[in-house]
């Protein structure tokens, strides 16, 4: 294996074109077999369903070089299932879950020289996505679709080490009651862009959204689930029908219960409870855990673990899960898929 000539330790979290990507097309009621191709250009009608009515969904996962030199990916079967759920809600054809996993592994294998070496902090990020490709002028689902998987080497989410971030409670909504908050639809992210830019302009890294019905219960941010630690070391995470089921959060819950022996609660969390937590973190594929140092709720501020570093419980959770991903710690059966 001959790695590409990249400055692996100084990669940013940004797109770099790689050699191959997977493309499959849905036409006349069925998917074709799909191919790996060098062509990175997408050509669609000016009236394609995705351009008119935002009929698209996506996923995100990573491939890693482990401590012993293997190349692996982490729980792609859950990404396949989540995309299937997204497609059903958006009236898009489901791409077979087993074929989804195989396509992910094939893309990694075809771009094996772009998988960063162990110890650099970098990984290979995979972005599976699907969109309506045929012309649609009336408000209805497209008749044809394209499913693609691209990959790109990315640097660590935190350059220079993990530092706690400052977030705010938002007055805006991320999702509607009984809407699309629990699927990974592109439209969910489009509607959050104005608010994240405003948050950055106001000195915050992210927005924490409250439940859209009462604006009293903690939900999630625009791109990550939220987890908390109580004074007695209990892991608490919000439960709601409008929260995206994060694969990282579900994995951290398993790590907490089964590896660290922690008590875990998945329940509604009223914003008034923020004063009772000693640690807070945002969890997702990109960073695994982003420690939160401070949450601002208008005229109130809540500081966690002094606001200067990741707390001890979050550190254990982070080290254990990344240890599994990097092969330093044995993972539960079925979590790690090796590329051979």
CA distance 126 to 108: 8
Q: Which of 25, 22, 19 is nearest to 6 (CA)?
A: 19
Distance CA 212, CA 234 (A): 26
41, 62, 81, 184: which one is catalytic? Answer: 184
**Known catalytic residue: 184?**
yes
Q: How many CB atoms lie within 10 A of CB 121?
A: 17
Give the separation between CA 312 and CA 80, rounded to whole angstroms. Answer: 33
Phi first, then psi: what are they for 79, rounded to 5°?
-65, -40
- Report the alpha-carbon distance of residue 27 to residue 181 in Å, rounded: 28
Max CA separation in the chain (angstroms): 59
What are phi and psi for residue 128, nearest 5 degrees? -75, 140
List of residues 6+ apart from 277 with CB closer than 8 A: 228, 229, 230, 231, 236, 302, 304
Which class for 99: exposed (0-12), middle (13-18), buried (19 or more C-beta within 10 A)? middle
Q: Which residues are catalytic?
A: 184
């Amino acid at each position: 294996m001959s790695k590409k000539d990249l400055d692996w330790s100084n990669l940013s979290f940004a797109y770099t074109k790689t050699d191959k990507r997977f493309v499959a097309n849905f036409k006349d009621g069925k998917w074709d077999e799909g191919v790996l191709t060098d062509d990175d250009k997408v050509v669609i009608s000016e009236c394609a369903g995705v351009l008119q009515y935002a009929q698209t969904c996506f996923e995100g996962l990573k491939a890693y070089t482990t401590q012993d030199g293997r190349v692996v990916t982490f729980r792609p079967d859950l990404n396949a299932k989540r995309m299937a759920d997204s497609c059903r809600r958006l009236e898009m054809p489901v791409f077979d879950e087993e074929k989804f996993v195989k396509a992910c592994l094939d893309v990694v294998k075809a771009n094996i020289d772009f998988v960063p070496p162990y110890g650099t902090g970098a990984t290979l990020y995979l972005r599976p996505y699907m969109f309506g490709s045929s012309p649609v002028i009336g408000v209805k689902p497209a008749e044809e679709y394209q499913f693609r998987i691209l990959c790109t080497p990315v640097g660590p989410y935190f350059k220079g080490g993990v530092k706690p971030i400052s977030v705010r409670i938002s007055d805006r909504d991320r999702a509607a009651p009984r809407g699309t908050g629990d699927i990974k639809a592109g439209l969910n992210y489009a509607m959050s862009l104005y608010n994240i830019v405003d948050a950055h302009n106001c000195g915050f890294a992210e927005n924490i959204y409250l439940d859209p019905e009462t604006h009293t219960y903690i939900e999630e941010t625009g791109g990550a689930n939220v987890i908390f630690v109580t004074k007695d070391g209990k892991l608490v995470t919000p439960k709601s029908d409008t929260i995206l089921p994060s694969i990282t959060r579900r994995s951290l819950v398993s790590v907490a219960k089964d590896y660290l022996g922690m008590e875990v609660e998945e329940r509604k969390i009223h914003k008034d409870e923020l004063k009772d937590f000693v640690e807070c973190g945002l969890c997702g594929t990109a960073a695994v855990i982003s420690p939160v140092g401070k949450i601002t709720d208008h005229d109130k501020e809540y500081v966690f673990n002094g606001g200067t570093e990741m707390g001890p419980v979050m550190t254990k959770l982070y080290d254990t899960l990344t240890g599994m991903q990097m092969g330093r710690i044995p993972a539960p059966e079925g979590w790690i898929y090796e590329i051979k």
